[in-house]
Amino acid sequence: MLALVACVSVARAEDGYGLWMRYVQADASKVEAYRAALGDVVAPDRTPTQRAARDELQRGLAGLLGVQPRFHTAPAGTAALVLGTPDSSPSLVIFQPELEDIGEEGYLLRQTQLGGQTVVVIAARRDIGVLYGVFHLLRLLQTGAALSDLDVRETPRMKLRVLNHWDNLDGYVERGYAGGSLWDWHTLPEWLDPRYTDYARANASLGINGAVLNNVNANAVSLSSAYLRKAAALADVFRPYGVRVYLSARFSAPMELGGLATADPLDPGVQRWWRGKADEIHALIPDFGGFLVKANSEGQPGPQDYGRSHADGANLLADALAPHGGVVMWRAFVYAHDVPEDRAKQAYNEFVGLDGAFRDNVMVQVKNGPIDFQPREPFHPLFGAMPRTPLMMEFQITKEYLGFATHLVYLGPLYEEVLRADTHVRGPGSTVARVVDGSLDAHALSGVAGVANIGDDRTWSGSHFDPANWYAFGRLAWNPDQSARDIATDWVTMTFSRAPDVVAPVVAMMMGSREAAVDYMTPLGLHHLMARGHHYGPGPWVAGGPRADWTSVYYHRADRHGIGFDRTTRGSDGVSQYAPAVARTFDDVGQVPENLLLWFHHVPWQHRMRSGQTLWTELVHRYGRGAGYVEAMQSTWGGLRGKVDEPRHRHVAAFLRIQRDEAQWWRDASVAYFQSINGLPLPAGETPPPHPRAYYQALQFPYAPGDGR
């Protein structure tokens, strides 16, 4: 018995810092073959990226193989791993033809014959491709892949794969649940925390190639000379890993920093100021990526302050950046000061008429859905509706609306659902992925952005499961056709254990977790029902205040008779922003997917669902089902005690207890609230909420994390 315990115990002091790059020794059955094939490494070491590739192999192979790899700069006449570009590693020149159309960041990873030896080759056109190939190989070793017949050819589908950090200069992270900002602005540029390098490694391991360092609710000081030098120091650390620095630009910076009387985009002085600023940035950061801009949205300044359009504003910055090759990522997350009849229609209404008016180096960055990163939204109607403008996807990785870092919610299925959604704009198969990867309308620029869930917490993301969302984002940004399940399988294998009796249950648990959160928070197409301000916990009763569209009652529209937002042709007509085939489906209460029913339709409480139940019965059932899923996750996780290292097991178990209580709270508060509106008895077999609506409504959380400032 003792021997058995010793043998199944995988205890190791684990704190999550290593992310998916833990590099624990490979299974005994594989390790000999790996050593024989990869114990010798032929790799150049002249450039910083070449050295980064070597460092990673050193770290990775030493861990996985349990022996130090031997590095050479020229073929040593033995079986080996050979990596480089045709320039840096002349023996790879025979791959030149195959590399012609692999792209600047692509790579080949193959077992083949070279100089009479069986070798594993990583070949690319540029050093960064080689580094990406190294991470790919390490992933294969971590997941126990065989090397024989290895034949991989990878080119990223999206050009820009970017993290947006909503980090303020004082170290506070807006909607951040993972501690403070990673960037220590006060000690930059002198002190370069080693963690900056680990951050860049983690991103490079996924192919993430850009980071917007500061909050979209931007402070002009980020563009001051002193702060640009700090950003330049970070750019120097990230550069070998292929991660370019971008900055959020405050539109009124010419006034705040430059002392100008206006920020009008058509004013020559303003244009001169931005050109000068772009020149200054590029002198410090030669590969500066460009600007991200939130303008005329939620109180931010913008071109409309001067009667100009979003295109005027974006083009102003684009012209300043163009000589240096930078891009503008102009956000479509806008809504007007006057509360509209349907906020979901606003971005489309403001942007669709500007199609074709933007410079070539502008991308319009569109949130995945038309409201705001809700647990479930239909895809944003702008996707496919601006064929002459490259549209960049904006996902939220930080779980502002999905339980913060304490809820185990794997977002892979959410991203997958949106990317695979069919816009039908050019007939069937016009998926959102094909809009954003540029293939549908032949755009040279393409990209995906994710609002980062990264902070200075030891786990990076505030829990042991949230890094999975960073990971899934990166993998899908590289190739949006990958499956969320496969990605989760890789992640669990690398993060927790290779044992199938750990991987299978954990992946299963993750795969259902997003749907569970939808169920216990906003089932059947409900949305925007969270508490005001900090967005922590349920708030279906939220009403009044400065804007109707910042309330819950605006979105659910529940009364004695029914519930839901009528966006049909008989209502706000939001459906007509979609291509006709999609609009028809959403418009028809008999065809709309039930998981979006109350997004598009206002229906009576007695509406018959496909299950045969009434809407009210189904709604209460879904709330309970979501909470029940969390209990099932607890029992799955409990069964893994001893199979997952103790420190992480304990941490996750504690967070699952928080999640269970909060899921139940969401269910009880929502049921109590809707019952107070419709006056209906609880469906048979359902447990009454332990408290009346007033109790839930009175709860206050003045110190909930991450609130906007």
Binders of ligand BDP in range 396-415 (CB under 6 A): 400
* 294 contacts ligand BDP (rule: CB under 6 A): yes
The one catalytic residue in 372, 549, 566, 668 is 372
- DSSP string across 187-200: TTTT---HHHHHHH
Binders of ligand BDP in range 645-674 (CB under 6 A): none
Q: Minimum distance between the CB of residue 450 and ligand BDP, rounded to whole angstroms?
A: 12
Reply yes or no on whether 515 is catalytic. no
* 373 contacts ligand BDP (rule: CB under 6 A): yes
Nearer to ligand BDP, 441 or 707 (CB): 707
Q: Minimum distance between the CB of residue 20 and ligand BDP, rounded to whole angstroms?
A: 27
Nearer to ligand BDP, 127 or 174 (CB): 174
Residue 295 token pair: 């303008």
* 708 contacts ligand BDP (rule: CB under 6 A): yes
Q: Minimum distance between the CB of residue 554 and ligand BDP, rounded to whole angstroms?
A: 15
* 416 contacts ligand BDP (rule: CB under 6 A): no
C-alpha to C-alpha distance for 342 and 674, rounded to whole angstroms: 22
Beta bridge partners of 362: 328
Reply yes or no on whether 549 is catalytic. no
Pick from 125, 157, 175, 464: which binds ligand BDP (CB under 6 A)? 175
Q: Minimum distance between the CB of residue 369 and ligand BDP, rounded to whole angstroms?
A: 11
C-alpha to C-alpha distance for 465 and 470, rounded to whole angstroms: 10
Nearer to ligand BDP, 298 or 486 (CB): 298
Binders of ligand BDP in range 225-244 (CB under 6 A): none
Neighbours of 338 (CB within 10 A): 6
Backbone angles phi, psi at 53, to 5 degrees: -65, -45
C-alpha to C-alpha distance for 667 and 143, rounded to whole angstroms: 38
Neighbours of 536 (CB within 10 A): 22
Q: Minimum distance between the CB of residue 550 and ligand BDP, rounded to whole angstroms?
A: 10
Residue 134 token pair: 């190294």
Backbone angles phi, psi at 181, to 5 degrees: -65, 145
Binding mask 124-163 for ligand BDP (x = CB under 6 A): ----------------------------------------
User: 117-124 and 107-114: which strand pairing?
Assistant: antiparallel
* 217 contacts ligand BDP (rule: CB under 6 A): yes
Q: Minimum distance between the CB of residue 342 and ligand BDP, rounded to whole angstroms?
A: 18
Nearer to ligand BDP, 174 or 264 (CB): 174
* 350 contacts ligand BDP (rule: CB under 6 A): no
Q: Using alpha carbons, select from 79, 81, 122 the residue that is nearest to residue 102.
A: 122
User: 603-604 and 244-248: which strand pairing?
Assistant: unpaired
The one catalytic residue in 27, 104, 170, 298 is 298
Pick from 135, 333, 605, 674: which binds ligand BDP (CB under 6 A)? 333
Nearer to ligand BDP, 333 or 470 (CB): 333
Q: How many residues bind to ligand BDP according to rule CB under 6 A?
A: 11
Pick from 19, 216, 243, 671: which binds ligand BDP (CB under 6 A)? 216
Reply yes or no on whether 400 is catalytic. yes
Nearer to ligand BDP, 372 or 437 (CB): 372
Nearer to ligand BDP, 174 or 466 (CB): 174
Residues sharing a CB contact under 8 Å with residue 494, sequence separation 6 or more, in sequence order = 20, 21, 22, 139, 142, 143
The one catalytic residue in 14, 400, 490, 515 is 400
Residues sharing a CB contact under 8 Å with residue 401, sequence separation 6 or more, in sequence order = 372, 373, 374, 375, 521, 530, 535
Residues sharing a CB contact under 8 Å with residue 691, sequence separation 6 or more, in sequence order = 668, 672
Q: Using alpha carbons, select from 353, 350, 355, 328 the residue that is nearest to residue 337.
A: 350
Residues sharing a CB contact under 8 Å with residue 236, sequence separation 6 or more, in sequence order = none
Q: Minimum distance between the CB of residue 389 and ligand BDP, rounded to whole angstroms?
A: 20
Nearer to ligand BDP, 164 or 568 (CB): 164
- DSSP string across 203-255: HHHHT--EEE-S-SS--GGGGSHHHHHHHHHHHHHHGGGT-EEEEE--TTHHH
Q: Minimum distance between the CB of residue 372 and ligand BDP, rounded to whole angstroms?
A: 4
C-alpha to C-alpha distance for 275 and 353, rounded to whole angstroms: 27
* 40 contacts ligand BDP (rule: CB under 6 A): no
On whether the CB atoms of residues 92 and 100 are closer than 8 A, the answer is: no
* 56 contacts ligand BDP (rule: CB under 6 A): no
Residues that bind ligand BDP (CB under 6 A): 174-175, 216-217, 294, 298, 333, 372-373, 400, 708
* Residue positions annotated with a catalytic role: 298, 372, 400
